Structure 1
């Protein structure tokens, strides 16, 4: 680890000693200039030096200026500055490359034009410079926008007027910024030509709110004001076009043409041909199935085509017998036979034996549909033998006139996740209206494909992420209530009135709401247990695998993966947010491993706080 220069840690100044009586420990000199407001809060003004922070990384602007100036042809004056536009911070490089004809702007020259149009010669030079500096600078130090100057502005004291450059750049419209886009070697913006490029062009234009004609093949996603939130939408829409692009891929391949080419090379796979019983944990599956038939545990007419191990999440939900009820209101005429046939269509439910009949019941002539439906589910919820039978059930309720209906669907959580329910409803509607389900992948195919992923590489990632971590120690179980153990106290439903809830907070630009929630939970854990090294679980949808139609698979693809955060004393809120989001983007490649597999990579001495044999994380944040 690089040591900071001794001058960074200084003795506390006299004004600080007056506030912190008797405390003379050294303090860290950040280099920030700030002032006190009248209410006692501190207002940040600017840096004392040229050091800035962007995307959670701190660096010197002078280093960016040096590399750009060294690679730019001819006599050049370069000023690098981080400019905030529409709540988004971007690195700009201002270039004065023709000093012979340049006129120096004085402090009173506020009405004079500073920015020059991007000529072909300038854009060709920028393309070459960008390629050169990428070999020596990290991505966060590559200017997103290069702007040619008519002249360099100066203050009355003869220094470069950075504030004026900042103000002028911040005032540029999105259309004006597009004129400074990166172009190809011929000096012309190339129009997307391949099918993949045109597909991405349409997606980018849609999610960024730009005309498709303004999105070129050599544009970079983040130069067009894209951020990680919008990148999630791009990845989702790209899958629908047959290109498998993850959020991490967008960060790794920012130009549209590069991302399109990568998407073609990494195209979505269909369901692979699988070998029956190859994933079964039973050594002799044929003998096992024969014994099940002899014991009468399987219908005699059914043919079991495969035995697949349940995922950790499925086992988790099965152990807890988690049944969920969905109620949908229908209006008009409903054909009972067509609806029953639609709910029993082959391939509709993927986590169930297909030969087992799915219960369908129709109750008509009901006066109070809502009350009857509520009473029906409350009665079923108190039963003890629901899961012992078939957990899936469809009940259609109709009023006296048969014009209003309620369709009740009962499922166990081991069959579905939040992504599955819309697909289930769409498929039922498709079958009801005479359509046919066309799907290239199903949940068994998902299990096979997940099992074929590079596990060693994933284990290495999580091993490095969790190295040296400990499981947080929480307060012990609640004390007995009236002589009864807490576990035996009856559970009661709790209704939350959203009128008394705080409005959803707006995260900073480029930060997802899930990241904000995880940061809040990390802070709560840190304060609760008094530690700065935090590990907790996060639910993920588990649908980042390159499998075609994966978003339409009806099954519990969701998973829980660890989040490991080391909160440093000098870390700002923005630093924490960027750290969480960066880790999440990288972990999407390896979120297919179950928690029990990850438990084995944590040193035994670090596991002793976790009592559950299949649990690595003792708290789970439901931020998806």
Structure 2
């Protein structure tokens, strides 16, 4: 059944099951759920210590040693390998190569690595590549399948990896790992029927999905297609005004951004009752040690925004936040089961991800403490989802929203206008929430005049 010695067999979370489905469905295409992070290193890299660190990391966390099996099984499982080879490769990019610069060779490697699929049946679904770029300079590339771990886990994993490197793979200074199995047991113990009843009530009356790209777009990706990105960055002043508006109305910044996206979807689709997806952290606070666990805890659930005549922005956003609050205890339910309560074959094709715990400079500062003769001076990361459009919201001094879109599903110029309209809406929300929600304009410069000229 497996090509490795079996240590344990675990069930899948709902989101893992969804990711497995998409990997199997698009088996010949680029797997968009392949995530890649590259760290810039300055100094002397001890490759033996790095290999020991990666090996100990995988030994400590059983759920990083899993393969996903489904053939001839009633339900897919994640099979834990007792031991896996250390997935560390070394590449020397300092040698001149067909006229390309070192940075061009790095970019070519990253692009090829990002599109190299994992065989989900064969662990580990994670690989490390050490690229030597110049004497004393390296890039450490960590590539993994999203089915293993989420963004909230990345800072934990990075800190642990570099601490293990500093101690040459010795984990005596690290706390004991709370097994991922503990979370899976908690998940299995939840009242699934009650959660779905809550979702059935929350989605009652939904008559049609909200599809920005139209039907069939999700399945229309080209085999070699990766999402393209556009970035909306509010200036620091507008970002602070937006946060101040949220505080004044006892709303979260997440609620304001979700509300803005829901309003824009309403205008773009011509519907007063819209749905989009969001990612929730999925870490139950009652589970001891959950804040330091590595794994996939997130879940994708619907957000519904329905407009009511005459309702102010403040009233709409307060209602949205209250409705989301009532769903907190039911966010563990699987999206497939949630969708089934509506009788629809799909619900939405856009996703909004709010990054509360991004991999940031603070993580790097913590990670590089005590590293012998080595400095982590920077990083870059890429991941994606299968939806035609994904908004990744990064709070900070300047609010930053990355729009990842599939060019086969959404026209680039139209997506540029969508980004601009989102800026208009967020700026309007920063100005206050007293106006009626159905009167807020999303027109861009010149569009009003064009419409008036057309009569």
1: distance between equivalents of 2:121 and 2:114?
13
Deviations along 1:556-594, one digit per CA (max 9) or x if unpaired, are 211112223332112110111111222223322221111
1: distance between equivalents of 2:292 and 2:12?
19
Structure 2 CA distance for partners of 1:373 and 1:355, relative to 1, 3 Å: same
Residue ranges of structure 1 left out of the alignment (5+ in a row): 1-291
The answer to whether the Cα contact below 8 Å between 1:369 and 1:405 also exists between their aligned partners in 2 is: no
When normalised by structure 1's length, the TM-score is 0.45
- Alignment partner of 1:358 is 2:59: no
SS at match of 1:506: helix
2: distance between equivalents of 1:305 and 1:384?
24
The answer to whether the Cα contact below 8 Å between 1:351 and 1:443 also exists between their aligned partners in 2 is: no
Structure 2 CA distance for partners of 1:545 and 1:354, relative to 1, 3 Å: farther
2: distance between equivalents of 1:409 and 1:576?
42
Deviations along 1:191-228, one digit per CA (max 9) or x if unpaired, are xxxxxxxxxxxxxxxxxxxxxxxxxxxxxxxxxxxxxx
- Which residue, 284, 308, 315 being the options, matches 2:17? 315
Deviations along 1:249-269, one digit per CA (max 9) or x if unpaired, are xxxxxxxxxxxxxxxxxxxxx
Deviations along 1:214-248, one digit per CA (max 9) or x if unpaired, are xxxxxxxxxxxxxxxxxxxxxxxxxxxxxxxxxxx
Shift, 1:488, TM fit: 4.5
2: distance between equivalents of 1:455 and 1:355?
34
Deviations along 1:128-173, one digit per CA (max 9) or x if unpaired, are xxxxxxxxxxxxxxxxxxxxxxxxxxxxxxxxxxxxxxxxxxxxxx
Structure 2 CA distance for partners of 1:479 and 1:344, relative to 1, 3 Å: closer
- Alignment partner of 1:298 is 2:7: no
Task: State the match for 1:336 in structure 2.
Answer: 47
Shift, 1:490, TM fit: 6.0
2: distance between equivalents of 1:569 and 1:440?
52
Shift, 1:410, TM fit: 0.8
Task: State the match for 1:472 in structure 2.
Answer: 209
Shift, 1:501, TM fit: 8.7
- Alignment partner of 1:377 is 2:104: no
Task: State the match for 1:568 in structure 2.
Answer: 308
SS at match of 2:37: strand
Structure 2 CA distance for partners of 1:571 and 1:495, relative to 1, 3 Å: closer
Q: Which of the two has greater strand per residue?
A: 2
Shift, 1:425, TM fit: 0.5
- Alignment partner of 1:621 is 2:349: no
Deviations along 1:65-103, one digit per CA (max 9) or x if unpaired, are xxxxxxxxxxxxxxxxxxxxxxxxxxxxxxxxxxxxxxx
- Alignment partner of 1:455 is 2:158: no
2: distance between equivalents of 1:452 and 1:347?
25
The answer to whether the Cα contact below 8 Å between 2:213 and 2:349 also exists between their aligned partners in 1 is: no
Deviations along 1:340-364, one digit per CA (max 9) or x if unpaired, are 1111111246232341213112234
1: distance between equivalents of 2:313 and 2:62?
44
Mapping for residues 33-112 of structure 1, pairs under 5 Å = none
- Alignment partner of 1:326 is 2:37: yes
Structure 2 CA distance for partners of 1:407 and 1:565, relative to 1, 3 Å: same
When normalised by structure 2's length, the TM-score is 0.60
2: distance between equivalents of 1:317 and 1:335?
36
Structure 2 CA distance for partners of 1:573 and 1:563, relative to 1, 3 Å: same
Structure 2 CA distance for partners of 1:527 and 1:495, relative to 1, 3 Å: closer
Task: State the match for 2:146 in structure 1.
Answer: 413
Task: State the match for 2:324 in structure 1.
Answer: 584
Shift, 1:393, TM fit: 0.7
RMSD: 3.2
Shift, 1:432, TM fit: 1.8
- Which residue, 532, 537, 544 being the options, matches 2:277? 537
The answer to whether the Cα contact below 8 Å between 2:93 and 2:105 also exists between their aligned partners in 1 is: no
SS at match of 2:6: coil
Whose RCO is larger (CA < 8 A, sep 6+)?
2
Structure 2 CA distance for partners of 1:449 and 1:440, relative to 1, 3 Å: farther
Structure 2 CA distance for partners of 1:427 and 1:385, relative to 1, 3 Å: closer
Shift, 1:382, TM fit: 4.7
Shift, 1:601, TM fit: 3.0
2: distance between equivalents of 1:583 and 1:499?
28
SS at match of 2:64: coil
The answer to whether the Cα contact below 8 Å between 1:538 and 1:562 also exists between their aligned partners in 2 is: yes
SS at match of 2:275: strand
Mapping for residues 440-519 of structure 1, pairs under 5 Å = 440-472=177-209, 474=211, 477=214, 487-488=221-222, 491=225, 494=228, 496=230, 504=239, 506-507=242-243, 508=245, 509=247, 510-519=250-259
SS at match of 1:622: strand
Structure 2 CA distance for partners of 1:316 and 1:370, relative to 1, 3 Å: farther
Task: State the match for 1:88 in structure 2.
Answer: none
Shift, 1:622, TM fit: 2.5
Deviations along 1:391-450, one digit per CA (max 9) or x if unpaired, are 31111123453x222111110111121101111111112222224332352322211111
SS at match of 2:7: coil
- Alignment partner of 1:424 is 2:157: yes
Task: State the match for 1:191 in structure 2.
Answer: none
- Alignment partner of 1:557 is 2:297: yes
Structure 2 CA distance for partners of 1:452 and 1:328, relative to 1, 3 Å: same
1: distance between equivalents of 2:274 and 2:233?
33
2: distance between equivalents of 1:488 and 1:405?
33
